[in-house]
Amino acid sequence: MNLTQSFSQECSDCPIRHRAVCARCESDELERLEEIKYYRSFEAGQTVMWSGDKMDFVGSVVSGIASLTQTMEDGRTQMVGLLLPSDFVGRPGRDGAAYDVVATTDLVMCCFRKKPFEELMNDTPHVAHRLLEMTLDELDAAREWMLVLGRKTAREKIASLLAIIARRDVTLNMQTGNSQVVFDLPLTREAMADYLGLTLETVSRQISALKKDKVILLEGKRHVTVPDMDRLLEEAGDDSDGGMLN
């Protein structure tokens, strides 16, 4: 079955609607978006776009995760970001892609034809304002991630990444009133090691340590339960109000 057939393609039923670029759109604005949107699915490992490619679309991640990667002149690569559900891909007003974007897991994107989307932005303050908010949030997250990669211990790095994914899962599912969070970890340990600048052995060791200390519970390698988010945030070196994780 095609990945895009597993959920409704109506904007009103979209699982990311409350966080996406169209979050504040009125019904007439949604109708205009419907006219220029289409869905694309990618299998894990498939390239969504290469750095420098001319982009004819922008869009939002509906489900799955993608990585942003930059390649240096000598061929070495560095993962510089993750795209989670509701994150926006592409930059209106720019012709080319700034990074390689690769599907880390099976990925579904809601895409908009680029030129009509740019015209819609000019006519629709709701879309332009929301995109500005998301861009500023992305900038804040990038600055905070510099702290994670540069100053935190291996244990804090793992806890930070788990907390980011857990908090995003909570907001996407609009959960409230429960400090316990349950989610399926969308990244392999190899991908976590690549993103965090750690060895695979260190990632596995630190996850085992967090499990042993009951900061997290694991069922298999991917099904994670966080009994107490405040404790996970403490392990990440962040205060309990969420900081970079909002």
User: Which CATH number does 3-146 carry?
Assistant: 2.60.120.10
Asked whether the whole model's pTM tops 0.85, one would answer no
Domain ranges of the chain: 3-146, 153-245
The CATH class, in words, for 153-245 is mainly alpha
- The confidence score (pLDDT) of residue 240 equals 44
Q: How confident is the model over 200-215, as pLDDT tens digits?
A: 999 999 999 999 999 9
- The confidence score (pLDDT) of residue 150 equals 77
Mean of pLDDT over the chain: 84
- The confidence score (pLDDT) of residue 205 equals 96
- The confidence score (pLDDT) of residue 39 equals 94
3-state secondary structure the chain: CCHHHHCCCCHHHCCCCCCCCCCCCCHHHHHHHHHHEEEEEECCCCEEECCCCECCEEEEEEECCEEEEEECCCCCEEEEEEECCCCEECCCCCCECCCEEEECCCEEEEEEEHHHHHHHHHHCHHHHHHHHHHHHHHHHHHHHHHHHHHHCCHHHHHHHHHHHHHHHHHHHCCCCCCCCEEEECCCCHHHHHHHHCCCHHHHHHHHHHHHHCCCCEEECCCEEEECCHHHHHHHHCCCCCCHHHC
- The confidence score (pLDDT) of residue 30 equals 85
Q: How confident is the model over 130-175, as pLDDT tens digits?
A: 888 888 888 887 787 777 777 789 999 999 999 988 888 877 766 6
- The confidence score (pLDDT) of residue 9 equals 67
Residue 243 has pLDDT above 80, yes or no: no
- The confidence score (pLDDT) of residue 217 equals 95
